[in-house]
């Protein structure tokens, strides 16, 4: 429905431009908003939705995940994610059960690489953009997990498709 209103706003701006050429930039901004809505509207999906296959044989099904984070930190006890000023969640290292890299075909216009951290409880799942503050330090720690597959990082970073790459899973 949002895309319909964006299209209507763009058409209205075009009509105004025809009547008043000095409002050219308002049309440009509305047009950019329309394109942005098309891109973001296509991107919005939950972790549970299927994605196109990739070179990995293991395609984990993932529960719904938190999409945006302001900051992520870790210590010896576990991982802390700050979702907003007053919303902070924590997952211990023992709770972490899977690390998945999720890519999409929308880059470079939107974040096209996300790291999905899945807890032992399927409801505990975070999708974290690779450019989230503190993520580089966390990645160094994730790479220390036993049997973490660093080759998967290379595969994921070179992917231009909608795909999921299993980097680590807790042995059962």
pLDDT at residue 119 tops 60:
yes
Mean pLDDT of 23-39: 56
72 alpha carbon, distance to own chain's centre: 14
Angle at the Cα of 49 (from 32 to 55), degrees rounded to 5?
95
- Round the CA-based radius of gyration of the chain to a whole number and report it: 20
Structure tokens at 154: 């290379």
Give the pairing type, strands 71-74 and 78-84. Answer: antiparallel
Q: pLDDT per residue over 126-161, tens digit each? A: 888 888 999 999 999 999 999 999 999 999 999 988
DSSP letters along 126-164, please? EEEETTSBTHHHHHHHHTTSTT--HHHHHHHHT--SSEE
**Total-model pTM:** 0.64
CA distance 169 to 139: 15
d(CA 141, CA 149): 13
Q: What is the pLDDT of residues 40-90, one digit of tens each?
A: 444 443 343 333 333 343 445 666 566 677 899 999 999 999 988 888 999
Q: How far apart are CA 59 and CA 61, in angstroms?
A: 7
pLDDT surpasses 80 at 18: no
A 10 A CB-CB count for 164 gives 25
């Amino acid at each position: 429905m949002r895309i319909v209103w964006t299209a209507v706003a763009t058409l209205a701006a075009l009509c105004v431009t025809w009547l008043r050429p000095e409002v050219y930039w308002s049309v440009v901004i509305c047009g950019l908003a329309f394109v942005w809505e098309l891109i973001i509207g296509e991107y919005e999906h939950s972790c549970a939705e299927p994605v196109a296959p990739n070179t990995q044989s293991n395609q984990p099904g993932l529960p719904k995940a938190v999409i945006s984070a302001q900051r992520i930190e870790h210590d010896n006890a576990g991982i802390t994610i700050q979702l907003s000023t007053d919303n902070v969640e924590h997952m211990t290292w023992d709770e972490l059960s899977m690390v998945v890299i999720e890519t999409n075909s929308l880059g470079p216009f939107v974040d096209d690489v996300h790291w999905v951290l899945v807890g032992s409880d399927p409801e505990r799942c975070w999708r974290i953009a690779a450019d989230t503050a503190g993520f580089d330090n966390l990645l160094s720690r994730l790479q220390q997990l036993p049997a973490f597959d660093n080759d998967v990082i290379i595969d994921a970073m070179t992917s231009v498709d909608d795909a999921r790459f299993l980097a680590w899973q807790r042995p059962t």
